[in-house]
Amino acid sequence: MTIQRTFSIIKPDATKRNLTGKINAKFEEQGLRIVAQKRLRMSRLQAQAFYAVHKERPFFGELVEYMVSEPVIVQVLEGENAVLKNREIMGATDPKKADKGTIRAEFGIDIGNNSVHGSDSEENAAIEIAYFFSGLELVG
Ligand code: ATP
Ligand code: MG
């Protein structure tokens, strides 16, 4: 059994529509424990740095403006194979292509407004967790 931690964001389109509780229920029902969570408003610099891997993509400016447009919930999820499991619970990037029952299929609006972020590897999870949380804030 591999217990992992992964980093998650409930994005502006979802906080705006009061979907925090429904999204958290999906994580908890499927065995992920929320071991840290806070609501914050991202700064432009934070959003640009967080999504720096996409800085050459045509949608980068739009992505940054979206991430700063409303508060977000940043969170750390823990459980067996949490990185992959969370990607399964989230569904594909484009809500139209996401499997039935996934967060993005149920709540996502379009590829930009897709309700959640989840780390794509254990290595990135550690980097992203450290970007928003101190060790003392992770309560397993
Ligand atoms: P995330 O990193 O947010 O969990 P992801 O790993 O499924 O999403 P990425 O390819 O890393 O997808 O893209 C990061 C984010 O950039 C997407 O979640 C989406 O909000 C936005 N994005 C990706 N592709 C497009 C696009 N073609 N047009 C607009 N926004 C896009
Ligand atoms: Mg990604």
* 120 in contact with ligand 1, CB cutoff 6 A: yes
* 118 in contact with ligand 1, CB cutoff 6 A: yes
- How far is the C-alpha of 65 from the C-alpha of 122, rounded, in Å? 27
Q: Kindly state the average pLDDT of the residues 97-108.
A: 98
Distance 118 CA to ligand 2 centre (A): 7
Q: Kindly state the average pLDDT of the residues 41-55.
A: 97
Q: Which residues are catalytic?
A: 117
Q: Kindly state the average pLDDT of the residues 73-85.
A: 98
pLDDT at 105: 98
User: 66 falls in which pLDDT band (50, 70, 90)?
Assistant: very high
User: 49 falls in which pLDDT band (50, 70, 90)?
Assistant: very high
- The whole model's pTM is what? 0.97
Burial class (CB in 10 A: 0-12, 13-18, 19+), 42: buried
Would you say 37 and 75 are in contact if contact means Cβ atoms under 8 Å apart? yes
Whether the pLDDT of residue 101 is over 90: the answer is yes
pLDDT at 1: 74
* 11 in contact with ligand 1, CB cutoff 6 A: no
Which amino acid, 9? I
Q: Kindly state the average pLDDT of the residues 62-76.
A: 98
